[in-house]
C-alpha cells in the first residue's frame, strides 16, 4: 500500500525525491525549476517521509494494541509516540543545560498555548506554568494558583470572582509569589490585571482575558501572557524517571 511505496521511495533517496508534506511543495517546485534536487535535499525529504510513516505506524499499533487489551485493563500494555521540536529554549533547568520544546500529534497540553505578550518561554517557565495550570483546573470554583521554582506559593478559590481568588492566593505568601507563575481557571478580569500589573510576575496562564486586561498587563514588557485550553482528561501522562 501507500506506506510501503513511501518507505521504498525514501530508501531510494539517492535517486528519488519523495514528497509527503504539502508544506514542502514550494521548495520542491523551486528545485524542479532550478534543474533538480541535490542529494542533501533528497535526504531531507526522505527523513520527512520516514517520520510520516513512523507516525502512521505508531497510530495503527496503538489502536490495535488498545482493542487487543484484556477486558477490564485500565492502562495500556504498550505506548508509542512521536514528537516534533517546536522551539529551542534559552536554556534548561540551569543556565549550563540545553532545552527544547517538543509537541506530539495529539495537540493537547500547555505546549499548545498561544502566547499573547512577553519574552520567549524558558524551561522553568513551562514546568512552573504546567504545575500551576493543573492546580487551578483541579477546582470547579474560580481558582488561582501561584507557583515558583516548582513550589506552590498559594492556591485559593472564590465564590466572588477570579480577582478575589488571586488576592487570596497571593496573600498566602506574598514574598515567595514575587517572580512566580500565575494560572487561573477563569478569564483574567481587568480588576485582577490591575492588581497583578503591580507585582513582578514571570508568566500568567488563563483560558482567556477580558477586554482591556491584556493592555493592562502589557505595561510590563517581559511578562509572558498565555491563553490555553483547559487540561484534557482521559489521556495517559508520561513522566521520565
* Cα–Cα distances in angstroms (integers) from residue 167 to residues 114, 142, 193, in the given order: 25, 12, 11
C-alpha cell at 184: 487561573
Residue 22, φ and ψ in degrees, nearest 5: -55, -25
Catalytic choice (48, 117, 149, 166)? 149
Residue 50, φ and ψ in degrees, nearest 5: -65, -35
113 sits in which H/E element: none
Structural contact between residues 131 and 155, judged by C-beta atoms closer than 8 angstroms: no
**Known catalytic residue at 13:** no
From edge to edge, which strands make up the β-sheet containing 180-184? 114-117, 224-227, 201-206, 180-184, 142-148, 151-158
Give the integer Cα–Cα distance in Å for 177 and 42: 52
The answer for residues whose C-beta is within 8 angstroms of residue 225's C-beta and 6 or more apart is 115, 116, 117, 118, 203, 204, 209, 214, 217, 218
Give the integer Cα–Cα distance in Å for 152 and 131: 9
Residue 6: how many other CB atoms lie within 10 Å: 20
Catalytic choice (11, 52, 108, 117)? 11
- Looking up cell 506559593 gives 153
DSSP state of 34: T
The catalytic residues are 11, 149
Amino acid at each position: 500500500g501507500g506506506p510501503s511505496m513511501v518507505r521504498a521511495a525514501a530508501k531510494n533517496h539517492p535517486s528519488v525525491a519523495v514528497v509527503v508534506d504539502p508544506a514542502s511543495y514550494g521548495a520542491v517546485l523551486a528545485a524542479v525549476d532550478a534543474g533538480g534536487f541535490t542529494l542533501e535535499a533528497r535526504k531531507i525529504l526522505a527523513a520527512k517521509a520516514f517520520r510520516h510513516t513512523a507516525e502512521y505506524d505508531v497510530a495503527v499499533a496503538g489502536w490495535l494494541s488498545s482493542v487487543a487489551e484484556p477486558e477490564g485493563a485500565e492502562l495500556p500494555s504498550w505506548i508509542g509516540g512521536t514528537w516534533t521540536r517546536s522551539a529551542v529554549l534559552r536554556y534548561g533547568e540551569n543556565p549550563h543545560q540545553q532545552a527544547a520544546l517538543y509537541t506530539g500529534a495529539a495537540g493537547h497540553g500547555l505546549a499548545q498555548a498561544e502566547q499573547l505578550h512577553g519574552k520567549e518561554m524558558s524551561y522553568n517557565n513551562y514546568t512552573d506554568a504546567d504545575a500551576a495550570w493543573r492546580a487551578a483546573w483541579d477546582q470547579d470554583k474560580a481558582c488561582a494558583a501561584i507557583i515558583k521554582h516548582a513550589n506552590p506559593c498559594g492556591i485559593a478559590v472564590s465564590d466572588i470572582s477570579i480577582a478575589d481568588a488571586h488576592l487570596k492566593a497571593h496573600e498566602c505568601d506574598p514574598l515567595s509569589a514575587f517572580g512566580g507563575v500565575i494560572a487561573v481557571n477563569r478569564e483574567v478580569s481587568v480588576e485582577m490585571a490591575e492588581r497583578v500589573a503591580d507585582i513582578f510576575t514571570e508568566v500568567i496562564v488563563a483560558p482567556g482575558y477580558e477586554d482591556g486586561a491584556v493592555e493592562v498587563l502589557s505595561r510590563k514588557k517581559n511578562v509572558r501572557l498565555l491563553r490555553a485550553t483547559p487540561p484534557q482528561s482521559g489521556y495517559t501522562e508520561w513522566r521520565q524517571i
